């Protein structure tokens, strides 16, 4: 037998272990199986209990956060479907302001619009303020087109807001659509 074969050769029994070493010496080692003491068992159970308790606490915190987030954005679908109605109200008010003869109609539509919008605000809807000259931010704005900037200082800035944006709580449900200067 070569030395490599001597090293690889092992004979294992349940009570003893015999190993060939490089120098062809046999070494016997007792395999001792120690049973854990009751103190070690208690410590292991305590550790397992603490880990389980910590996992349960993390689960409770996570579900509470998810529930709060769900309540904040529960009406998102409804709010998104009502936004075109808000836009129509704003367009109607802008059109009625031009008419001098429809003063009473304008007051009535304005009253209905304010009541409707205040109700939406109470439910968490917020308007994202976007003005001409604001710096364009891709995380907040949606650019629909670029036009040559009328002045040098408007390059890369919002020139016009075509459609207003809205947030429900902290989540943007509709991005403001803007025109940017090039």
- My answer on whether 80 and 63 are in the same domain is no
Query: Which single residue is written with the structure tokens 């704003």?
Result: 90
- My answer on whether 100 and 167 are in the same domain is yes
- My answer on whether 177 and 97 are in the same domain is yes
pTM of the model: 0.59
The range of the structural domain enclosing residue 55 comes to 37-72
Supply the DSSP symbol for 157. B
Provide the CA 24 distance to its chain's centre, in angstroms: 65
7 lies in some domain: no
| Residue 75 vs residues 70, 123, 169: alpha-carbon distances, Å | 9, 8, 11
- My answer on whether 133 and 57 are in the same domain is no
5 lies in some domain: no
Q: Residue 77's pLDDT is what? A: 85
- My answer on whether 85 and 47 are in the same domain is no
CA torsion angle 83 89 90 94 (round to 10): 160
Q: How many domains does the chain have?
A: 2
122 lies in some domain: yes
Q: Residue 9's pLDDT is what? A: 44
- My answer on whether 164 and 85 are in the same domain is yes
Which parts of the chain have pLDDT scores under 50? 1-24
What does the longest C-alpha to C-alpha distance in the chain come to? 115
């Amino acid at each position: 037998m070569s030395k490599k074969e001597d090293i690889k050769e092992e004979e294992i029994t349940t009570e003893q272990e015999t190993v060939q070493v490089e120098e062809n010496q046999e070494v016997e080692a007792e395999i001792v199986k120690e049973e854990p003491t009751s103190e070690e068992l208690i410590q292991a159970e305590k550790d397992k209990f603490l880990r389980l308790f910590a996992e349960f606490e993390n689960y409770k915190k996570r579900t509470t956060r998810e529930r709060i987030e769900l309540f904040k954005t529960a009406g998102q679908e409804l709010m998104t479907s009502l936004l075109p109605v808000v836009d129509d109200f704003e367009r109607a008010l802008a059109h009625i302001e031009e008419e001098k003869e429809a003063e009473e109609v304008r007051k009535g539509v304005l009253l209905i619009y304010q009541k409707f919008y205040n109700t939406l605000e109470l439910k968490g809807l917020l308007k994202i303020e976007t003005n001409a000259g604001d710096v364009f931010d891709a995380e907040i704005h949606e650019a629909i087109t670029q036009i040559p900037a009328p002045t040098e200082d408007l390059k890369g800035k919002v020139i016009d807001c075509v459609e207003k944006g809205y947030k429900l709580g902290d989540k943007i449900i509709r991005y403001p659509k803007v025109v940017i200067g090039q």
